[in-house]
Structure 1
Amino acid sequence: MIYLYLKATHIVFVVTWFAGLFYMVRLFIYSTESVQKQEPEKSILSKQLLLMQSRLWYIITWPSAIITLFLGGWLAYLMNYWQQPWFHVKLTLVIGLYIYHIICGRLHQQMARGIFKYTSKQYRIWNEISTLFLFAIVFVVVLKNAFSWIWGVAGIVALGILLMLGIKLYKTLRKDD
């Protein structure tokens, strides 16, 4: 029974972690756009958006990432997942997600220092990387040994293409406003 409680709690913290990552990059987009505004709007928006970033990052996103890692490790130990090939693929994807997470933290720190290196379009593209991680990890976990690598890779590539087309369409529609 402990396995089911751990699994449920792990899933809850995975969801809150991803929610934090998704919204954090959204805040990067808004922050980047706010520095292009005129005063006093620029100062007011920038200050508020940076405060929202910090609260989201340190109160929700980081704690969720840590708890996810702890619970996931506990589950892997209990179920001896280390011996299963699908778990190695999942672990590789999760390591990639933590690298993405750390890069997001660095981007937040840069913005807090007033450094805005990327455009809102680049952040929109960056935001979709976490979506690709989410899809890939969920499919590996659910399908396990039935996972067809050719179809799986093709599906992730197709999803990436669709996301990029969606960003391009959004940009086009936004210019029409």
Structure 2
Amino acid sequence: MLWLKAFHIIFMVTWFAGLFYLPRLFVYHTEVTDEAGHQRFVTMERKLFAIMSIGMLGTLVCGVLMLMNNTAYMQMGWVHAKLGLALLLIGYHHWLIAPMKRFRTKTNTKSGRYYRLINEVPAFFLVTMVILAVVKPF
């Protein structure tokens, strides 16, 4: 079970690194004016999204396996809250596809400031989910 927990954390760190960095790439992408720079950011965003998707899938698989190995967790309120936040985070992860597509097709209308604000969303999830998993307040 400890190996599973270790890999859950490793995948989670990978996922969150991408969730923090992709919107930051969007900030920088808004400032690019040349075609070579545009293509570079499109490539970086696509590759980062692939890596963070692997992190997401690994996190989910390990999390589900941990729940299957200890069904008592499903009786605990903090697990329900964490699962709810995980579902919202998965939604946010997939929502990031839309700005990637807008940048790729050169139809982005959002500012760097907008993406700086979006960049803060994963911080809420990270702090809340770690507190739930460690403190287990419910």
TM-score bucket (shorter structure): over 0.9
Q: Which amino acid aligns with 1:12?
A: I
2:126 to 134, 146, 151: 134
Partner SS state of residue 107, structure 2: coil
1:65 to 56, 62, 77: 56
Q: Which amino acid aligns with 1:26?
A: R
Q: RCO (CA 8 Å, sep 6+): is it higher in 1 or 2?
A: 2
**Cα distance in 1, alignment partners of residues 101 and 62 from structure 2:** 28
**Correspondence 1:111 to 2:103:** yes
Deviation at 1:4, TM superposition (A): 0.2
Q: Which runs of 5+ in 2 are unaligned?
A: none
**Cα distance in 1, alignment partners of residues 68 and 101 from structure 2:** 35
Runs ≥4 residues deviating over 3 A: none
**Cα distance in 2, alignment partners of residues 75 and 94 from structure 1:** 15
- Structure 2 counterpart of 1:9: 7
**Correspondence 1:23 to 2:15:** no
- Count the aligned residue pairs: 137
| TM-score when normalising by structure 1 | 0.74
Between structure 1 and structure 2, the one with the greater Rg is 1
Q: Which amino acid aligns with 1:132?
A: F
Task: Provide the identity percentage.
Answer: 35
Deviation at 1:117, TM superposition (A): 2.5
**Cα distance in 1, alignment partners of residues 24 and 121 from structure 2:** 13
